[in-house]
Amino acid sequence: MTTATTVYARFRDTALRREEAGFLNVLPETAETYGIAAEEISYRAMLERVERWRAAFASRGYGQGHRVGLLLQNRPVFIELWFALNALGVSVVPINPDLRVSELEYIIAHSEMNAAFVLAKRREEVETAARQAGRRIPVVTDSGEIPAPFGGARPASAGDGGSECALLYTSGTTGQPKGCVLTNTYFLYSGDWYRDVGGLIDLRLDGERMITPLPLFHMNAMAVSLMAMMSVGGSLTMLDRFHPRSWWASVRDSRATCLHYLGVMPSMLMSAPPSHEDRAHSVRFGFGAGVDRLLHAPFEERFGFPLLEAWAMTETGSGGVIAANAEPRKVGTSCFGRPAPEVEVRIVDDGGNDAAAGTPGELLVRRAGADPRYGFFKEYLKNPEATAEAWKDGWLHTGDIVSRDADGDLHFVDRKKNVIRRSGENIAAVEVESVLNRHPAIRQAAVAATPDQMRGDEVAAVIIAEQPGADRALAEEIVRWSLEQMAYYKAPGWICFVEKLPLTATEKIQRAGLKDFVAKLMREGAFFDCRDLKRRQE
């Protein structure tokens, strides 16, 4: 028996072994939202769908070096297309459906994708973005004919572990998202790690059922949830999104044995009144990050299973993951466990020196052994400088501030990078500022995170207006305008008008000072609360 070196090959091996067992479970609520069938798709049925797509793509000349954009939310067809394209050596570019034209334009141009499969209602918008990007790729829905790839045919290749499998865009500290090149090994190891890590994450072969509301355009669902279930022959229920009111019904209907969460979810679930059905489920553990430390223990007591906190990022994949999968977990302390022997870490101060125990510093990680990048991202596309900076001195610089206690356990403290983390989405402050500064009523805008009880962070904008007399009406107008320019979650939820901003000697925004400035203005009640205007654009 050969060891699979591609995502497609692993899926095919599992499908041939599991045959009629369930692979993807589509609940009625998700099916109704998407307009698709509610069903449990068996491994055999999924393999048949993948093979039909693979043959069709091959006949049109898709091959090694091509990239195909996927704007399909959490529909099963996303996975069908991904696996079929992977079999031919084609990489996929998952696209966040909340992105608007200017953001889509950048990704299409930067990725040099050769085609895009999108939701019917987004087709015209993506075509417009492609045209404005100067790259007239075919933009089609999954119900149409497969078009020839932009730029011409290429020979297909089965690929190997080092081949590019996907290109995921992640917000950083610079204005535009960076494209993380992820290999087949990145995805395969993620499944291996989850299957083998053990402890309280005890996945059973051929017996697990996982539920996740997280999106496939993020590494968590795409590389962790999906690859884990595929690697143990389990079944995955993917929801269209997190629905607090129907969550437990979905958990019960899916017969889930484990689930994935983000910090906002436990907070919302704990706000519901207690019910005699709170423990009427089969969940043995939840796996995620960012649970409110004050709610961690009460949640476990009420719902009857542990929330296992972990740390990772798109760049580390599971090559650098750290998880609290063994007791004592130090519940309620923002502890995310200690590194396994295969992961090396350093915690350093601003001078790059190792921080003393208990002293916060930046987390640096790498793989132990001969290949310090094993399981990590390959590179930032077209950005060797940023790749080199991330891997300075042979360690991946995470930008996260953590501390290590006397037992060797790690605790999350804050983010060094100026990234706002709202409901699991990373938002680059510079990107939001660049959009706001285009508004005719704004002379200069500065954006920072402000704590939000439900979402972790919210976007706070401090603005110098062009004209005096700025008021709530202008604040609301700016937010509504912002919603047309960028993904809804990036728009400011709080707006404050000021006469001056904290700047450096070179007239740049003083990031550390801005954070304190925002906190002071918030305490003084100077912000207009515009959060109720932030709605996902349909």
pLDDT tens-digit readout, 436-489 = 988 999 988 999 999 998 888 999 999 999 899 899 999 999 999 999 989 999
- Tens digit of pLDDT for each residue in 289-345? 988 888 999 999 999 999 999 999 999 999 999 999 999 999 999 999 999 999 999
Backbone angles phi and psi of 77, in degrees to 5: -65, -25
Give the residue among 455, 433, 394 at the shortest CA–CA distance from 511: 433
Distances, alpha carbon 486 to alpha carbons 127, 370, 398, 433, in Å: 17, 43, 26, 11
Q: What's the Rg (C-alpha) of the chain?
A: 23
Roughly how many angstroms between the first and final C-alpha of the chain, as a whole number? 48
Distances, alpha carbon 345 to alpha carbons 192, 235, 322, 379, 402, in Å: 21, 34, 10, 20, 11
Higher-scoring residue by pLDDT: 431, 345: 345
Bond preceding residue 328 cis, omega within 30 of 0: yes
Q: Which residues, 6 or more positions from 144, have their beta carbon under 8 angstroms from its beta carbon?
A: none
CA angle 460, 462, 463 (to 5 degrees): 135
Average model confidence (pLDDT) across the chain: 94
Does domain 7-401 correspond to CATH entry 3.40.50.12780?
yes
What pLDDT score was predicted for residue 416?
A: 74
Q: Which residues, 6 or more positions from 356, have their beta carbon under 8 angstroms from its beta carbon?
A: none
Predicted TM-score (pTM) of this structure: 0.86
Backbone angles phi and psi of 109, in degrees to 5: -70, -45
CA separation for the pair 285, 128 (Å, rounded): 44
**Length of the chain as a residue count:** 538
Q: How far is CA 102 from the centre of its chain?
A: 20
Q: Where in the chain is the domain with CATH 3.40.50.12780?
A: 7-401
What pLDDT score was predicted for residue 507?
A: 63
CA separation for the pair 90, 156 (Å, rounded): 8
The answer to whether 53 and 11 have CB atoms below 8 angstroms apart is no
Give the bridge partners for 380, in sequence order: 180
The answer to whether 374 and 319 have CB atoms below 8 angstroms apart is yes
Homologous superfamily in CATH for domain 419-533: ANL, C-terminal domain (3.30.300.30)
Residue corresponding to tokens 């019904």: 249
What pLDDT score was predicted for residue 2?
A: 52
The answer to whether 201 and 241 have CB atoms below 8 angstroms apart is no
The answer to whether 422 and 458 have CB atoms below 8 angstroms apart is yes
pLDDT tops 80 at residue 35: yes
- Which pLDDT band holds residue 387 (cuts at 50, 70, 90)? very high
Q: Where in the chain is the domain with CATH 3.30.300.30?
A: 419-533
- Which pLDDT band holds residue 429 (cuts at 50, 70, 90)? confident
